Amino acid sequence: MATRALHAQAVEAGYAGRSILRGLDLAVAPGQTYALLGANGAGKTTTLGLFLGFVQPTCGRVRVLGADPVAKAAQARRQLAYIPENVALYEHLSARENLAYFLDLAGQHQGADAIAAALARAGLDSMDHGRRVAGFSKGMRQKVAIALALARQVPVLLLDEPTSGLDPQAQAEFSRLLVWLRSEGVAILMVTHDLLGAAQVADRIGFLDQGRLLDEVAASGPERFDVRALHRRYATAGAAK
Ligand SMILES: Nc1ncnc2c1ncn2[C@@H]1O[C@H](COP(=O)(O)OP(=O)(O)OP(=O)(O)O)[C@@H](O)[C@H]1O
């Protein structure tokens, strides 16, 4: 098994000549959850864009399970699922139909039983499988997106602010799902502003500041999270430069 599912080494990247990521080093192993925190504009979403192949580095190296997301885009994308803050679905289709459609698009046709199992595993109530997603809450939409990742059996999950706007119960449910996915060996990189939520599910937390990892803390060992100390560090990161 690869020791690094996601790997960025000495990455410089930006937009139209404007430098955003400045020497970023970041690695996520299979079965590991990494939470990336940082101020608005620090480059968190840009970091996800690197692994998705949307953002091309000007320097350094990016790999998704050994594949370069730009040069080997199809190979890299097959391995990952990306769940943006607001999941886009076909509003007039049901959850079940959305899943079937996206699986077909990915060339992974699956039968009704497999689709129902993925939606159930993602925590979507069976009563909602046949409902049009137009009336779905943010949490329900995320479940459809997670169900797609489950049905595709992707080894890597990229999440952009997955818990923002979820109520505490939906947040807890989502966290349990992430913990289970990690136990299944999925590598998870999540961008978030929710330090408490990150501390509950992540193995490592990285603080991005102006395109560099300012700090990285682990869940176990002497460096173990102390949420209050982390909060102090996070809240003063900009001022500490
Ligand atoms: N497509 C783009 N073209 C030009 N500039 C961009 C583009 N996307 C992002 N940026 C700029 O790059 C910088 C980093 O943006 P990014 O979205 O990566 O930050 P972030 O850490 O995710 O912020 P937030 O917490 O606000 O979501 C910002 O200044 C942003 O305006």
CATH number of the domain encompassing residue 197: 3.40.50.300
Using the predicted structure, report yes or no on whether residue 134 has a pLDDT greater than 90.
Answer: yes
Ligand 1 midpoint to CA 228 (Å): 28
* Closest CA to ligand 1's atom 3: 15
Instruction: Tell whether 123 and 189 lie within a shared domain.
Output: no
Instruction: Tell whether 139 and 160 lie within a shared domain.
Output: no
**How many other CB atoms are found less than 10 A from the CB of residue 54?**
14
Instruction: Tell whether 103 and 200 lie within a shared domain.
Output: no
Phi then psi dihedrals of residue 30, to 5 deg: -60, 140
Ligand 1 midpoint to CA 168 (Å): 27
Instruction: Tell whether 143 and 199 lie within a shared domain.
Output: no
Instruction: Tell whether 180 and 240 lie within a shared domain.
Output: yes
Instruction: Tell whether 193 and 228 lie within a shared domain.
Output: yes
- Please name which of 44, 38, 135 lies closest in space to residue 95, comparing C-alpha atoms: 135
**Alpha carbon of 174 to those of 142, 177, 219: distances in Å?**
9, 5, 19
Q: Count of residues for the chain?
A: 241
Instruction: Tell whether 235 and 166 lie within a shared domain.
Output: yes
Percent of the chain with pLDDT over 90: 68
Domain that holds residue 19: 1-79+155-241
Domain count, the chain: 2
Instruction: Tell whether 97 and 27 lie within a shared domain.
Output: no
Instruction: Tell whether 75 and 159 lie within a shared domain.
Output: yes
Instruction: Tell whether 118 and 232 lie within a shared domain.
Output: no
User: Element (H or E) spanning 55, and its range?
Assistant: none
User: Element (H or E) spanning 147, and its range?
Assistant: helix 138-152
Q: Which of 133, 153, 173 is the last residue of a domain?
A: 153
Q: State pTM to two decimals.
A: 0.91
* Closest CA to ligand 1's atom 10: 15
What does the alpha-carbon distance between residue 182 and residue 171 come to, in Å, rounded to a whole number?
A: 16
Q: Which of 123, 153, 183 is the last residue of a domain?
A: 153
Confidence of residue 178 (pLDDT cuts 50, 70, 90): very high
pLDDT of residue 214: 81
The ipTM of this complex is 0.96
Instruction: Tell whether 127 and 171 lie within a shared domain.
Output: no
Instruction: Tell whether 201 and 126 lie within a shared domain.
Output: no
